[in-house]
Amino acid sequence: MQRGSGQLILFKYFKVLVQEFSIKLDATFLGALLIFFKGNQIKTQVQQYLDMDVELAQTQLADTEAVQIARGTQRHYYQDLNFGPIKMLLSLSLSRGANDDPLLQTDNTFVDGITQTLGVVLTEQHDTCIKLSYFERKNRFMTVKQLQNQAQKFYTNQVVRQFYYFFANLDALGNPQKLFLGFKEGGTDLFYEPYQGAILGPAEFVEGLGLGVKSLGSHAIGGVFGVASSVTASAGQAIAYLSFDEKHKQDRRNDMRDKPQHVGQGLTKGFKRFGSGLLGGVTGVVTQPMEGVKKDGAKGLFTGIGKGAAGLVVKPVGGVVDLASNTFEGIRGSADDAVVVGLLRTPRVVRSDTLVRPYDSYEASGNAILAALQKPSHRYDGHVLTHKNGKSAIIVTDKGLIHAEKRALVQAFDRWEVVSMFLFRDIRDIPETAPDDDQFKIDSFNDKKQPVSKVLTVPAANKPFLRQRALQSFESFKKMKANNAS
């Protein structure tokens, strides 16, 4: 409401309400933001001057600096100003994937590994509850600048006062706040449920007493084993980082992402992690030096020997810790009465053209295979199964073709792995082949830029579909490359 000569604006009632919300931050997201803003800052001096000229030309008279300064001294009258209380759930993880861009890099792999280990363990947060009180001003004369300063100071003090929640929710300490709230809720139910039942009658009192005892028992058991699960999970994460094996760390993160919901599932996942750690430690003695030689030659050989020796000790120990962590989490899940909401179907596929199509379970299964291969930079465009038991597939992406197989020494521990990958940047052509054989030919270049031809085994019935999808994605890739070059 504006009064008088226009120099005073009256706000009789101004109220803002914010619903409860969640904030989930991880190293991948923070790294992407950092790269985005860094990329925007890389401009030539000429480009900066051009941007400034365009911005100045498009500025309205009312938005000029002189007008803004004049407005900044204009006082408003707030009869009733109220910013409601804020409640948010904060989750923070500094875990990084094998393909992620790290936030902080050092030239020393050992130092970077130690830094990551301590940082991940000491900052892992899950649903930390942050509550900020309401901000209120009544019958005040203030400029916009004064209001901004007062609100900023108020919420800064509120955040500082809530800082202890950060330590109370550390997984490395077992999330003591969650344990305390669990006992508090169970104790409340122990008295509240029988009281509610007693109002209705003797039978309801007995039923309420049973519900209260059950609630206290489930919260007590779930809280104690939840603490044990959090502590051992943090220890397992630290041990995994000391292996200096990015693939092992990423596999562990993927396995530990889905929490077991009962004891049986906890034992199954626990023994799976133990088997993976034991197998990875033994095989790493051979595979790590081979990968080191392939990547860095003689220098990589010694690095691989060191990683293999470290993994021989660290990975089995980490497997034992993960076995305990999953078992504890399974016991906690069995004691918890909460309803677990899960996916009813495999997530829908959105291809590289970003068009939303009707749901296709076959394509969704192929996209799930690509997700299991941990190739986040690739977008699914199609796939065919090359084996009757469904344990071999060729996936077409926006960047190339991936031949994958499901491998395992033990049936329960099988997982998809990349056998070979053919990037479109190295492919010359995808020629026609005989319709009655099982050979799928790809003409490409090798590492020395020499033309070579590679043949994949594909059932004859699946070859036309595979070639059609591969050619479509190949042509799209060439068009995109040509547009970027122009």
Taking the CA atoms of the chain, what radius of gyration do you get in angstroms? 30
Q: Which pair of tokens denotes residue 192?
A: 């509240």
Q: State the pLDDT at residue 239.
A: 82
Strand partners, 380: 397
227 with 176: CB under 8 angstroms?
A: yes
**Rounded distance between C-alpha atoms, residue 315 and residue 238, angstroms:** 11
pTM for the model = 0.58
Residue 143 host element (H or E): strand 135-143
E strand or H helix that includes residue 304: helix 298-335
Identify the sign of the CA torsion 16, 22, 25, 30.
negative
Q: Please report, in tens digits, the pLDDT of each residue of the chain (486 residues total).
A: 445 445 578 888 889 998 888 888 776 676 666 666 655 554 556 667 777 777 777 766 655 555 555 555 677 888 899 999 988 887 777 665 444 444 444 444 444 454 455 555 555 666 777 888 889 999 888 888 888 899 999 988 888 877 766 666 666 666 777 777 778 888 888 888 888 888 888 888 888 888 888 888 887 887 788 778 877 887 887 788 788 887 888 778 777 777 888 888 888 888 888 888 888 888 888 888 888 888 878 888 888 888 888 888 888 888 888 888 888 888 888 777 666 666 788 888 887 777 888 999 988 998 888 888 878 788 888 888 887 777 888 998 888 889 888 876 544 456 788 888 888 888 887 777 766 777 788 888 777 777 888 888 888 888 888 888 888 888 888 888 777 766
CB half-sphere exposure, 335, CA atoms < 13 A: 22
Which pLDDT score, from 0 to 100, does residue 135 have?
A: 92
User: Cα separations (Å) of 112 from 5, 38, 120, 305, 315?
Assistant: 64, 22, 12, 19, 19
Distance between CA atoms of 405 and 417, rounded to whole angstroms? 6
Pairing type for strands 75-83 and 14-16 reads parallel
- Are the CB atoms for 416 and 251 separated by under 8 Å? no
CB 229 within 8 A of CB 166: no
Cβ neighbour number for residue 408 with a 10 Å cutoff: 14
DSSP 8-state secondary structure symbol assigned to residue 437 = S
- Bridge partners of 135, per DSSP, are 83
- CB neighbours of 387 closer than 8 A, spacing ≥ 6? none
Report residue 330 as tokens.
């399974």
| Closest by CA position to 208, among listed 221, 217, 195, 220 | 195
User: What are the φ and ψ backbone dihedral angles of 19, each rounded to 5 degrees?
Assistant: -70, 160
Which tokens hold the place of 381? 């465009």
Maximum distance among all Cα pairs of the chain, rounded to whole angstroms: 90
Q: What is the pLDDT of residue 123?
A: 57
Cα(485)–Cα(189) distance, rounded to whole angstroms? 67
Query: Angle, to 10 degrees, between the axis of helix 202-241 and the axis of helix 109-123?
Result: 170
3-state helix, strand, coil in the chain (%, to 5): 55, 20, 25
- Residue 110, pLDDT score: 45
Q: What are phi and psi for residue 195, nearest 5 degrees?
A: -60, -45
**Which segments of 29-121 are extended strands (E)?**
75-83, 86-93
Which phi and psi (to 5°) does residue 7 adopt? -85, -15
- At which residue do the structure tokens 């990589």 appear? 300
Distance of alpha carbon 239 from alpha carbon 287, whole angstroms = 20
For the chain, count helices (H), then strands (E).
13, 15
Which amino acid is it at 326?
A: N
DSSP letter at 293? Answer: H
d(CA 261, CA 246): 28
Q: What are the structure tokens assigned to 58, written together?
A: 């498009």
Neighbours of 191 (CB within 10 A): 12
Contact 343, 358 (CB under 8 A): no
CA distance 422 to 455: 11
Write the single-letter amino acid at 464.
Answer: P
Characterize the bridge pairing of strands 86-93 and 21-26: parallel
Closest CA to 121 of 245, 251, 243, 234: 234
